[in-house]
Amino acid sequence: MTRNPLLETLRAFMTERDWGQFHSPENLAKSIAIEAGELLECYQWNADVDRDEVADELADVLTYALLLADKLNLDPEQIIRAKLERTGQKYPVEKAKGRSTKYDRL
């Protein structure tokens, strides 16, 4: 795994507080879903949102996602690039550009 200063900061933050004991993959996955729900709640009644509130909730989602990737020994950049490659094959530009149609209906 490549050196990631942000991940190193997260690890140090968690270690100082002894929170690693609570960070099983299951708990981290649950936390991602919970925080994603809180992010969605920002948009519940309209699209005119408090940007700072959205940033806080998005930071929580990203934090738990990075911690889960770290716990599972997955490199976030590598798994995102691999997923983009697979998604690009399912959604070729010439068929998918400007469309939200699912890949099996293109």
pLDDT at 1: 52
pLDDT at 22: 97
Amino acid at 24: S
- 3-state SS assignment for residue 2: coil
pLDDT at 2: 61
Helix (H) or strand (E) holding 41: helix 25-41
In this structure, are residues 76 and 69 in contact, taking their beta carbons and an 8 Å threshold?
yes
Residue located via tokens 């879903």: 33
pLDDT category of residue 42 using cuts at 50, 70 and 90: very high
